[in-house]
Amino acid sequence: GAVVSQHPSRVICKSGTSVKIECRSLDFQATTMFWYRQFPKQSLMLMATSNEGSKATYEQGVEKDKFLINHASLTLSTLTVTSAHPEDSSFYICSATRQGVYTGELFFGEGSRLTVL
Amino acid sequence: AQTVTQSQPEMSVQEAETVTLSCTYDTSESDYYLFWYKQPPSRQMILVIRQEAYKQQNATENRFSVNFQKAAKSFSLKISDSQLGDAAMYFCAYRSKRLYNTDKLIFGTGTRLQVFP
């Protein structure tokens, strides 16, 4: 149980286009989802926290208009990279907490590798 | 603000031997979660072990155990009988209990573990 699925796993786009990444909790309801960004050989950097039905909370230095996060249901959160540029190329990982379960554990998606040409 | 420090960027161990990965953290809170996550080349984050700060007993999961020193704010991971499949990036992480399931996970910089046959 507690499976989180991300789609797409890899995406290549042209500079200036927008890309949407989906994060789904397959067998549980996720009240809170977190979006992380990871550069090669580096740690995970939290971008934003999204709660179902409310606006996402962004970390300092993360552009809200560049990285649009929507958490429309208890099983789906989306990250849209708008007007993508080569510097947005990175590995994006989502994670979720399970509604009603307080073990502290976060469940991670497989990640999405974005390459902007 | 809480911080997590992993002072060993890389470690290596021979198959069947034991290795210890170090982690220290800083917090003013009295109760919280600590985790070790493994990230293999696939980039999927895998939970290795979890510790709640109020529990004095060190957590163990098969070949993985921790040495939790709350006063020293130290949380090291011991891997016994190392296997080739243990080769990965290991992240130490901290999570507050203050906001229940909406608290973020704070990661250390990671330790890359190599296992030699």
Nearest to B91 among A43, A49, A51 (CB): A43
Chain A residue with minimal CA distance to B46? A108
- Cβ–Cβ gap A46/B104 under 8 Å: yes
pLDDT digits (tens, 9 = 90+) for A3-60: 999 999 999 999 999 999 999 999 999 889 999 999 988 999 999 999 888 889 999 9
Q: What is the pLDDT of residue A102?
A: 77
H/E/C letters for each residue in B17-63? Answer: CCEEECCEEECCCCCEEEEEEEECCCCCCEEEEEEECCCCCCCEECC
- Quick one: pLDDT band at residue B56, thresholds 50, 70, 90? confident
Q: What is the pLDDT of residues B91-103, one digit of tens each?
A: 999 999 887 767 8
What would the DSSP string read from start to end of B74-102? EEEEEE-S--GGG-EEEEEEEEESTTGGG
Radius of gyration of chain A (CA): 13
Q: Are A111 and B44 an interchain contact pair (Cβ–Cβ within 8 Å)?
A: yes
Model confidence at A64, pLDDT cuts 50, 70, 90, reads very high
On whether the CB atoms of residues A86 and A116 are closer than 8 A, the answer is yes
Whether A25 contacts A96, CB under 8 Å: yes
Strand locations in chain A, DSSP E?
4-7, 10-13, 19-25, 30-38, 44-51, 57-58, 67-73, 76-81, 90-98, 107-108, 112-116
**Reported confidence tier of residue B113, pLDDT bands at 50, 70, 90:** very high
CB-CB neighbors (< 8 A) of A41 in chain B: 112
The predicted pLDDT at position B22 comes to 98
Query: To the nearest whole percent, how much of chain B has pLDDT over 90?
Result: 91
Q: At residue B1, does pLDDT exceed 90? A: no
DSSP-derived 3-state class of residue B110: coil
A102 contacts in chain B (CB < 8 Å): 100-101
List of residues 6+ apart from A36 with CB closer than 8 A: A44, A45, A46, A47, A92, A93, A94, A95
The pLDDT value recorded for residue A31 is: 85
H helices within chain A, ranges in order? none
Please tell me the predicted confidence (pLDDT) of residue A81.
97
pLDDT of res. B50: 95
